[in-house]
Structure 1
Amino acid sequence: MALRFRGEWTHKVDAKGRVSVPAPFRRVLEAGAPGWQSGDPVPFVVVKNQDSQPCLNVYSVAEIELIDDEIYALPRFTEERDRIARRLASGSANLTLDENGRFGLTAEMREKTGIGDQAVFSGMVERFQIWSPEGFEAVSSGAMPSEPDPENLFELIRAAKAKYNVQ
């Protein structure tokens, strides 16, 4: 059985903007990093603009490669493929965890999410999200719609695949 992102944690963000990824999530990131060995930095990808929700979406290397493959399957040089690839590539960052399982939230990431001195990590099976406590409470309580907007990156991929009849 493959490891998946499950559970919810709230972690402190230090004065330098560093936050520790929950240990169970680190295990999934390690398992999803081809060739990773104990002691190596753990790579992962943060997608900042997946949709309009005020959170970050975090993927293992293996999972983001599946998403990349969906984009690569679209016909080259089409407006849809270029738009999707540009949005994903420019709106994401390849990062690694330090030896303590932490990474630094950039000013842009903190501005998008409203994260201050605490961050909520929420498992989403194939990915996890990072929210401010207030944002997570709002989406969990239904005060903030949880449905993706039409500009959701994956809605754009699905529409382009349907248009070009790509499996």
Structure 2
Amino acid sequence: MHINISRVSKITSLLWLLTLSPMTAHAKYTPDQVKAVYLYRIATFVQWENEAQMDSINICVQDNEKVNTILSKLTQDKLIRNKPLKVVSSDCDVLYISQEQNLNRIESVPTNTVTIGGMESFTENGGAIELVEHKGKIRPKVNLDNIKGYQLSSNFLRVAEVVGGQQ
């Protein structure tokens, strides 16, 4: 098996940056790469109410093949709290939507599914977390009113723009 050390190093560096501050979409990383890393990192900051019954943590990226491919490579053989992380097309614990025409999917997901969107106004349309680029930076926006069946870590909320809820 051949491991590309340079690629592993880049991914590790990108993960490190995400844990410390909002991401800047430098030319070094594409917005799709940054969003894929955010999806992975966000899953580590979620505590599901039914987590004890979960066999794995499933992330669905159904409408963005680039993010899906990057995330699949990034999460291969990864665990979150001893549960395997899987990129799948159904039974989603985390659902990423990148295209406006798919916003209607939010209405049919179980309440304990974390909905993340890659478009403006996603959180205003029922989504929990929005990842959009603004002035070269990708920063999460969280709507607390759209969170049910899980909690987000305060460490994650510190780096996000938070709306809704009892602020």
Larger Rg: 1
TM beyond 0.5: no
TM-score by length of 2: 0.26
| TM-score (normalised: structure 1) | 0.26
Structure having the larger proportion of residues in strand: 2
Report which structure shows greater RCO (CA 8 Å, sep ≥6): 1
